[in-house]
Structure 1
Amino acid sequence: MFIGMDDTDSNERMCTTYLAVLIADALEKEGFGTVSGYVHLIRLNPSVPYKTRGNAALGFEFNPAADSAEFRTKLISFVSGKIIEYAETECEKTNPGAVFIFEENDSELKNRLNLFFKKAVTDLVEIDEAQQLLSQYFIPHLSLKNGRGLIGALAVCGALMNPGWDETYEYLAYRFPEKWNGTAVLPRFVDTNSLIAADKATYPKTWDTVDYSEKKNPFPVCVPGSGDPVLFGLRGESPEVVLEAAERVVSEPVYLSAVFKTNQGTDAHLISVGNVTEMQPLHSYILTGTVVHSSKTNEGGHDIFVIQDQTGNLLECAAFEPTGSFRKVIRALASNDSVTVYGSFKNNTLNLEKIEVLSLTSIFAFENPTCPACQKRMESAGKGQGFRCRNCKTKSGDKIKIPVPRKIKVGFYEVPPSARRHLSKPLIRMKIH
């Protein structure tokens, strides 16, 4: 069978990954059966407006100890009770949902859930669509409040039942409950130097552990700042490498830990399009075009430029202030540069996650000519009269054109780890350095 759940956290507290691990462990300890493989952490469309934090759904394959109707009812009741106990339902945006799929050999349901999974990662899915699937296939489920979590719960089951997508792994360490579940959240302790050592020992098979973009002050990206149970998380290509990195981390005592199979760092949310008219708000895209207006920095420190697609439509692209030094790349773009942009589309603007500079136009500056005799710069001889050398009396008709070196090169550029979305594929995973 497959168990999926979503939307149990709030903006400030709790974490569905934590609850999924608690439930998986409790099911085994209570004799309900055994978990098969890794708990799945599936990130859905990052542009969905009603998400709490990272828009992740959790699920796992489970081998039940019995197959009677009574046993199934008892198992569902046990899982539902845990979700009701831990979910942050007092938060307006938290709408938990869980599903229990026993018919793993139903090929029609498997295919439908695969399409549902892919749509939930790239598109907008309404609750009605989830409820229709639940009704059509008589899928047992838990729905609290408006039940929006049913969308993610079904999507993660689609991922579980249809392997073969680009997979990565994350090790998550959790704090003791008394450090985060009281009236005051105690500060985390994770030694930054140990994170740097873990990163250097396992990179590039792990990534986004530390942000080095501010070289004088490396920032530990893998340590959250909210009041949830996560102590730190390490992302990588395999379970073995994230565990190897975790062994090098010095921190406060770890209450619980787990390795998750994920779609993080895969660009699964991006849709390739040929022109701007194909783009819809709250989706993420890849589009190639030509720069027509170079970057301007607004009062908030955000850099905005405009590209033109192959059909002549214009698109505003933005590198926001938190992307830090990435904005230097954007400021170095010039009209007629050819680029491919990657990012989410909102308010008629593409919010950049990375960019590939395909070609650079030549830029020239115009200067007064130099005297061929004394090599000094000539000066104007008067309006419309060209230039002359004051010493040698030599003359020249026009200014000379000097190539201006470009501050960027052809190639890929990405936002720093601290500004990267969970689903965005780092260049190191694209074998680009």
Structure 2
Amino acid sequence: MEIIIGVDDHDSTKAGCTTHFSVLLMRELAKRGFEIKEIPKLVRLNPNLPWKTRGNASVSFSIEVTEDTDIILKIKEIIENLSYKYVTEISKGFEMNRKPGYALAKTNDLIGVKDDIERFYEMALSDVVTTDLAKRFAKNRNIVVGGDRGIIGSIASMGFHGDYSFELLTYRIKDNWDKERILDKNSVIGADIKLFPKVSSNYDYFKDVPLILSHGTDPVLYGLRGTTPYVLLEEMNLVKAYEAIDFFMLFKTNQMTDAHIRRTGINFYQTTKIEFKVSSIKVLEGGHVIINGYDSPVVVYKETRELNSMSKILKNGDVIEVIGSVKPSYNNTKIVEAERIRVISLNDMREEVPTCPKCGKKMESIGKNKGYKCRRCKTFSKEKDNIKIKRDLSLEVYQSSLYRHLTKPIFLELQHIDLRVEKDVMDKILSEILEKDISIKLG
């Protein structure tokens, strides 16, 4: 019999990480004889929520158990005990108002409600979901939940479906959590060059800094993102860090898949997709750009770099499609924060005061809406001339260089991996973790 488990909200600003906790939980279950059936799923949720956790990610995985009438209660007890120890001893989450949660269910019980759970996942990706709604949802579908707000992500992770990529996370020895992370940046560049385009988000060549390093006092050393398990294992061997790794884990994830734009809307904290004709552009002090023409202003922040640069040369009459997040502004109005812009058509004409066909001089206006006249030749023109101009934009997609977790890089080609390959990789990684004397003792 198979049981699926989801966990969320086990991190805090002080320490801890939900993925870190999930690996310790898998290790504890494996030590007790339960078989881990798959690579765990790392599921990023709605990136627009102001109260989201640092990575806004939940984790789910499946285990094989022997048939037992009390098996759900036994697994529930293991999760609760380990969760409480982790949040009190490691992440100090309760001190930081974190509200961890978990969910579990027999896989067979979920077959009939598969569509419901997938819709819940999509809702958690794109909208605001309350804890009460999640509890009612679970109760009506034989899903056992515990804890608080974390049950939302826990249930959502069970419904993960669609395109996927992989992330390999390495974890630090506990004594190093408050120390600076240092690695050989040339090794990161070398790995990026060798393995591109199967890997992404390794290095910021503009700022000349690695992007793979985590920050703060959480237990993650670095994270590698790519399209297959084996390319990430190869990359890990190429990256040189100046500290020992406690353990690592590979995750199957919705990162870099554009999952958040599958279901769009126009309400606060939703991702939206809008098409409109540009009426005007305003460049603010500091470099941010306001694009007008839609019901709500579109903001393109300076930090988006290439996207910000292209937005400055849009003009009245251009037709664009914007993907971005709907956020509240002053007086409860809305703004759209752009993360991607597709240029549909360009206004490549410019109106100019007409030229006299006889003498070649510019005509003069004879009054508002009254036309133009050459003072010398007395020739008349009712309208301005339309002059074709060259534009420094193409009919293509422009994207922020600062990727969100879910944003799919334009160059990335996602792959589908045989489940037997995934299981083989997972078994090898877990075997290594079980054999190691790791720095965290919770069980």
TM-score (norm. length: structure 2): 0.81
How far apart, in 1, do the equivalents of 2:28 and 2:38 lie? 16
Q: Show the 5 A alignment for 1:238-317.
A: 238-251=228-241, 252-271=243-262, 279-294=266-281, 296-308=282-294, 314-317=295-298
Q: Show the 5 A alignment for 1:311-350.
A: 314-347=295-328, 348-350=334-336
* TM-fit CA distance, 1:293: 1.5
Aligned to 2:411: 428
Structure 1 residues 382 and 257, CA gap change in structure 2 (3 angstroms): closer
* TM-fit CA distance, 1:410: 1.4
CA contact (8 A) 1:120 1:151 kept: yes
Does residue 136 of the first structure (1) align with residue 179 of the second (2)? no
Aligned to 1:116: 120
Q: Show the 5 A alignment for 1:70-109.
A: 70-87=70-87, 88-109=92-113
* TM-fit CA distance, 1:413: 0.7
* TM-fit CA distance, 1:259: 0.8
Aligned to 2:432: none
Let me know the Cα RMSD of the aligned residues: 2.9
How far apart, in 2, do the equivalents of 1:118 and 1:371 lie? 62
Structure 1 residues 192 and 370, CA gap change in structure 2 (3 angstroms): farther
Structure 1 residues 32 and 102, CA gap change in structure 2 (3 angstroms): farther
Provide, for residues 190-233 of structure 1, a one-character-per-residue CA deviation record: whole Å limited to 9, x for no partner: 22111111111111111111123x2xx42322212222111111
Structure 1 residues 410 and 235, CA gap change in structure 2 (3 angstroms): same
Q: Report the 3-state secondary structure (helix = DSSP H, G, I; strand = E; otherwise coil) of the residue aligned with 2:93.
A: coil
Aligned to 1:53: 54
Aligned to 2:441: none
How far apart, in 2, do the equivalents of 1:300 and 1:85 lie? 46
* TM-fit CA distance, 1:121: 1.1
Aligned to 1:311: none
Q: Report the 3-state secondary structure (helix = DSSP H, G, I; strand = E; otherwise coil) of the residue aligned with 1:356.
A: strand
Structure 1 residues 404 and 127, CA gap change in structure 2 (3 angstroms): same
Aligned to 1:230: 220
How far apart, in 2, do the equivalents of 1:385 and 1:71 lie? 91
Does residue 168 of the first structure (1) align with residue 165 of the second (2)? yes
Percent of pairs identical after alignment? 29
Aligned to 1:197: 190
Does residue 24 of the first structure (1) align with residue 26 of the second (2)? yes
CA contact (8 A) 2:36 2:62 kept: yes
Aligned to 1:413: 398
Q: Show the 5 A alignment for 1:394-409.
A: 403-409=388-394
* TM-fit CA distance, 1:20: 0.6
Aligned to 2:346: 360
Provide, for residues 304-340 of structure 1, a one-character-per-residue CA deviation record: whole Å limited to 9, x for no partner: 11134xxxxx231111132123211110111111111
* TM-fit CA distance, 1:128: 1.1
| Aligned residue pairs, count | 395
Q: Report the 3-state secondary structure (helix = DSSP H, G, I; strand = E; otherwise coil) of the residue aligned with 1:342.
A: strand
Structure number with the bigger relative contact order (C-alpha 8 A, sep ≥ 6) is 2
Structure 1 residues 307 and 241, CA gap change in structure 2 (3 angstroms): farther
How far apart, in 2, do the equivalents of 1:415 and 1:121 lie? 20
Provide, for residues 286-311 of structure 1, a one-character-per-residue CA deviation record: whole Å limited to 9, x for no partner: 122111112x2223432111134xxx
Q: Report the 3-state secondary structure (helix = DSSP H, G, I; strand = E; otherwise coil) of the residue aligned with 1:269.
A: helix
Provide, for residues 318-373 of structure 1, a one-character-per-residue CA deviation record: whole Å limited to 9, x for no partner: 11132123211110111111111111111211111111111111143759979999
TM-score (norm. length: structure 1): 0.83
Q: Report the 3-state secondary structure (helix = DSSP H, G, I; strand = E; otherwise coil) of the residue aligned with 1:18.
A: helix
CA contact (8 A) 1:38 1:60 kept: yes
* TM-fit CA distance, 1:107: 2.5
* TM-fit CA distance, 1:7: 0.7
CA contact (8 A) 2:306 2:399 kept: no
How far apart, in 2, do the equivalents of 1:194 and 1:204 lie? 17
Aligned to 2:35: 34
CA contact (8 A) 2:122 2:263 kept: no
* TM-fit CA distance, 1:420: 1.6
Moved more, 107-116 or 192-201: 107-116
Structure 1 residues 93 and 305, CA gap change in structure 2 (3 angstroms): farther
Unmatched tracts of structure 2, length 5 or more: 329-333, 367-371, 415-443
- In the TM superposition, structure 1's runs of 4+ consecutive aligned residues that sit over 6 Å from their partners are 367-373, 377-385, 394-401
Unmatched tracts of structure 1, length 5 or more: 309-313, 389-393
How far apart, in 2, do the equivalents of 1:381 and 1:76 lie? 84
How far apart, in 2, do the equivalents of 1:125 and 1:34 lie? 32
Q: Report the 3-state secondary structure (helix = DSSP H, G, I; strand = E; otherwise coil) of the residue aligned with 1:260.
A: strand
* TM-fit CA distance, 1:79: 2.0
Moved more, 378-387 or 297-306: 378-387
CA contact (8 A) 1:287 1:340 kept: yes
Q: 2:211 aligns with which of 213, 221, 236?
A: 221
Q: Report the 3-state secondary structure (helix = DSSP H, G, I; strand = E; otherwise coil) of the residue aligned with 1:224.
A: coil
* TM-fit CA distance, 1:263: 0.5
Q: Show the 5 A alignment for 1:379-394.
A: 386=374
